[in-house]
Amino acid sequence: MTNLPSIKQLQYLIAVHQHQHFGRAAEACFIGQSTLSSAIQTLEETLGCQLIERENRSLMFTDIGEEVVIRAKKIIADTMSVKELTKSYKHPLSGKLTLGVIPTVASFIAAPLYQFCLQQFNQLQLVLVEDTSDKLLDKLEHGHIDMAMLALPYHTERFHTQVLAKDHFSLVHHQDYEIAADVSDLNLLPDKSVFLLEREHCMTGHALSACHLNRSDCINPFEAANLHTLLSMVEYQNGVTFLPQMALNAGILQGKPIVTNGVLGDAYREIGLLWRKTTGRIHDFRLFSEKVGEFVNQQCEQAKKEN
């Protein structure tokens, strides 16, 4: 058996790297400075090379030291995930779970989702975070959130993706606005009559591709930052836009002189849950996505036979 570095040694090394200071690192690890000093020395011995250059009053990690720190971090993270794994096995869906949700979903289901989880998982302390898709993926990668709920398709190989539900788009317009009864090809809509969210918004892309909108002339250059601004434009400028079923079910049109023109056949976005592939709480997440999947499906349900 080869003599490998120990978990503790790696933890201590990481601490020194974080604090760039032996004393403070030792404090953070709840051990004495001397202990840490000798631990690092032993580690350097087993690895057969210097990791840290101790100078007058400052530290300096060697190239190889930096590389070792990177790998050590991964090893520690993996080891902690083993503990998480066994813990979530013993106490399913307990403790804190931080879920990131994109705005065009959170607006409509954050509150009922929170209520739902409170009932379903009474051991769980759910924390919701609202942000854009990009930001959420960043947070997910860095461990600031445990899972992300966003609209698919969204290109990412980095994480495990679990599809929960289809959320169909409907065409909506002012109740007085006359529109051809049969709008099979949406590209035939009048010039500048289609209002959308800002271009960077993932829902804009989803609406465009799901509705096969390729004639840019019919799209109004105005870019809304949120759905309510968008709706007010549609209301006053007598245009049209696309709303996901989830928004309609949440009553976004209530009290407004805007009506839906019915669901558009195969135009939909998908709601999905993402998590880190290396997570230790895989059981938790599977269980969570199963239950929440049912809930989200319900939120996206199309009213049967509604005239």
Partner DNA sequence: AATAAATGATCAGATATTGCGATAGATAAA
Partner DNA sequence: TTTATCTATCGCAATATCTGATCATTTATT
Residue whose C-alpha is closest to residue 167's, from 247, 93, 87: 247
Residues near a copy of itself (CB under 8 A) are 1-2, 4-8, 11, 29-30, 46-49, 64, 67-68, 71-72, 74-76, 78-83, 85-87, 89-90, 280
* CB closer to a copy of itself out of 157 and 306: 157
Contact assessment for residue 156 and residue 285, using Cβ atoms and an 8 Å cutoff: no
Task: For residues 233 and 272, give the distance between their C-alpha atoms in angstroms, rounded to a whole number.
Answer: 29
Which of 10, 13, 40, 105 is the binder for DNA (CB under 7 A)? 40
Task: For residues 130 and 102, give the distance between their C-alpha atoms in angstroms, rounded to a whole number.
Answer: 6
Instruction: Compute the Cα dihedral for 179, 180, 185, 187 and give only its sign.
Output: negative
Contact assessment for residue 36 and residue 22, using Cβ atoms and an 8 Å cutoff: yes
Which of 4, 18, 35, 78 is the binder for DNA (CB under 7 A)? 35
CB of 219 to DNA, least distance (A): 60
Is 38 near DNA (CB under 7 A)?
yes
- Please tell me the number of Cα atoms within 13 Å of 256 on its side-chain side: 21
CB of 211 to a copy of itself, least distance (A): 33
Task: For residues 251 and 249, give the distance between their C-alpha atoms in angstroms, rounded to a whole number.
Answer: 5
CB of 5 to DNA, least distance (A): 9
Is 106 near DNA (CB under 7 A)?
no
3-state secondary structure of 54: strand
Which of 4, 18, 23, 251 is the binder for DNA (CB under 7 A)? 23
Task: List the single partner that 307 binds among a copy of itself, DNA, none, CB under 5 to 8 Å by kind.
Answer: none
How buried is 164 (Cβ within 10 angstroms: 0-12 exposed, 13-18 middle, 19+ buried)?
A: buried
Segment interacting with DNA (CB under 7 A) among 28-36, 70-78, 256-264, 283-291: 28-36
Which of 10, 13, 28, 57 is the binder for DNA (CB under 7 A)? 57
Task: For residues 248 and 255, give the distance between their C-alpha atoms in angstroms, rounded to a whole number.
Answer: 12
Segment interacting with DNA (CB under 7 A) among 3-11, 128-136, 220-228, 287-295: 3-11
CB of 267 to a copy of itself, least distance (A): 32
Task: For residues 25 and 10, give the distance between their C-alpha atoms in angstroms, rounded to a whole number.
Answer: 12
Structure token digits, residue 78: 């993996």
* CB closer to a copy of itself out of 49 and 163: 49
Site residues, DNA (CB under 7 A): 6, 8-9, 21-23, 30-35, 37-42, 54, 56-57, 59
